Amino acid sequence: MTDGDFDVLILGAGSGGYACALRAAQLGLTVGLVEKGNLGGTCLHVGCIPTKALLHAAEVADSARDASKFGVSATLDGIDMAGVNSYKDGVVARLFKGLTGLIKSRGITVIEGEGRVTGPRTVTVGAATYTGKSLVLASGSYSKSLPGLELDGERVISSEHALKLDRVPASVIVLGGGVIGCEFASVWASFGAKVTILEALPRLVAAEDEASSKALERAFRKRKIDFRTSTPFQSVKTTDSGVAVTVEGGDVIEAELLLVAVGRGPSTDGLGYEEQGIVMERGFVLADERCRTNVEGVFAVGDIVPGLQLAHRGFQQGIFVAEEIAGLDPKPIDEAGIPRVTYSHPEIASVGLDEATAREQYGDDITTITYDLGGNGKSQILQTAGFVKLVGLKDGPVLGVHMVGDRVGELIGEAQLIYSWEAHADDVAPLIHAHPTQNEALGEAHLALAGKALHAHS
């Protein structure tokens, strides 16, 4: 006899866990959802949603600062962080309320507290024990640091601390030029802080196509964001006024704050996974393409599974697992088909293979085309620079779409369909894109790839 037996027991109510819960309940399964924090997890409370609210406030600040470019008289008189935070927290609160209501209305049992796997498909929360015919591990991730680098939450901070700042720092060193580093660098630069990014690898957002990194670096340079690539961090000392960071080679850089954005680690420590015989690697849970661990009836989704640590990947895996458990035989998720967006100013959006990876796989059968947003009416109206780059297989499908420019993140849906449906340039070229939109740039790039470029391209 336990405190609750469910068809599906889920550990963690972040994007992966709650999506699984909603879909499983919709499919008529009984669901227990264990959560120690708030429903919605990192994405809703300390990740995607609040950071994108900050980025939107940053865009508003840029619009005010640059108003004269459009003939509008306005000035940026300052950033009221209390006001920014209240806007951001309001967005989170409304979404949280909606999600809580939705979960309740689906009859999902929410079990509040820290769960630990203590037996086959069994989770213990405090003194209570729950079982599931299937168990889904969805315990998420945490902000990593480097050995010996302690996050004190005051001078040396993670993105979670950064979201709670009640002031715009005068200066910040951002350690790590990945997605989080570039997004926060972008926000703080818009808010008027002096920003320096330190990146160990030779380029910013190194997981993206090289052309996207170069374009972001150009834009950041123009925005006076200082970035130092091929510059590994060595040590930090706190000073009276902030931090002094020493990089390899001996240079010392000072600022008010150090943001550590060197990746996220899987939250799996002490949760009993290994004790139950689940195969792990460097703290991650290994799962196959059907999200199954090596233990019968135990699934894993989201950031604890090696691969892209993106909310929408976890979300889709959660839905997949619910359908798998319900016997619907869903189609496995293609990791390369997961869209990726960095919401900096300018944005980077991509899906599929970058040029280097495509060349490794297909050699000279690859063809690429880059359409400059300079030729796109809406981008000119917005005064944004950038491009749409396509990587295609000669006489074959589009293998990758890479875009840079303000708001290009909104174009990724079409790019994802093109990639996932293995469309050829000739299939896309005749599609009619509304004018004037940035979507036209996607259409124009496919015309060019099909050898029918109407406007100039490079």
Query: Scanning residues 300 to 319, which ones bind ligand NAI (CB under 6 A)?
Result: 309-310
Going by C-alpha positions, the residue among 254, 232, 231, 228 that lies closest to residue 243 is: 254
CB of 260 to ligand NAI, least distance (A): 8
* Closer residue to ligand NAI (CB): 44 or 179: 179
Binding residues for ligand NAI, total number by CB under 6 A: 25
Q: Is 177 in the site for ligand NAI (CB under 6 A)?
A: yes
Q: Which of 76, 91, 99, 146 touches ligand NAI by CB under 6 A?
A: 146
CB of 424 to ligand NAI, least distance (A): 28
Q: Is residue 420 within 8 Å of 409, Cβ to Cβ?
A: no
CB of 47 to ligand NAI, least distance (A): 7
Q: Is residue 352 within 8 Å of 381, Cβ to Cβ?
A: no
Q: Which of 201, 211, 244, 382 touches ligand NAI by CB under 6 A?
A: 201
Q: Which of 113, 232, 283, 374 touches ligand NAI by CB under 6 A?
A: 232
CB of 179 to ligand NAI, least distance (A): 4
Which letter does DSSP use for residue 397 in this model?
B
Q: Which of 161, 435, 446, 457 is catalytic?
A: 435
Q: Is residue 307 within 8 Å of 369, Cβ to Cβ?
A: no
42: part of which helix (H) or strand (E)?
Answer: helix 41-46
Annotated catalytic residue 435: yes
The structure tokens listed for 130 are: 């729950």
* Closer residue to ligand NAI (CB): 341 or 442: 341
Q: Which of 7, 199, 209, 355 touches ligand NAI by CB under 6 A?
A: 199
440 phi, psi to nearest 5 deg: -55, -30
* DSSP H stretches of helix in 386-453: 412-420, 425-428, 439-449
Query: Scanning residues 324 to 353, which ones bind ligand NAI (CB under 6 A)?
Result: 341-343
Q: Which of 22, 24, 117, 179 touches ligand NAI by CB under 6 A?
A: 179
* Closer residue to ligand NAI (CB): 143 or 384: 143
* Closer residue to ligand NAI (CB): 134 or 309: 309
Q: Is residue 137 within 8 Å of 12, Cβ to Cβ?
A: yes
DSSP string, 54-100: HHHHHHHHHHHHTGGGGT---------HHHHHHHHHHHHHHHHHHHH
Q: How many CB atoms lie within 10 A of CB 254?
A: 14
Stretch that binds ligand NAI, among 166-174, 211-219, 262-270, 314-322 (CB under 6 A): 262-270
Q: Is residue 309 within 8 Å of 335, Cβ to Cβ?
A: no
Q: How many whole angstroms separate alpha carbon 453 and alpha carbon 447?
A: 5
Q: What angle do CA 284, 51, 99 make, to 5 degrees?
A: 75
Q: Is 233 in the site for ligand NAI (CB under 6 A)?
A: yes
Query: Scanning residues 267 to 286, which ones bind ligand NAI (CB under 6 A)?
Result: none
* Closer residue to ligand NAI (CB): 220 or 343: 343
The site for ligand NAI (CB under 6 A) is made up of: 146, 175-181, 183, 198-201, 206, 232-233, 261-264, 309-310, 341-343
Catalytic residues: 435
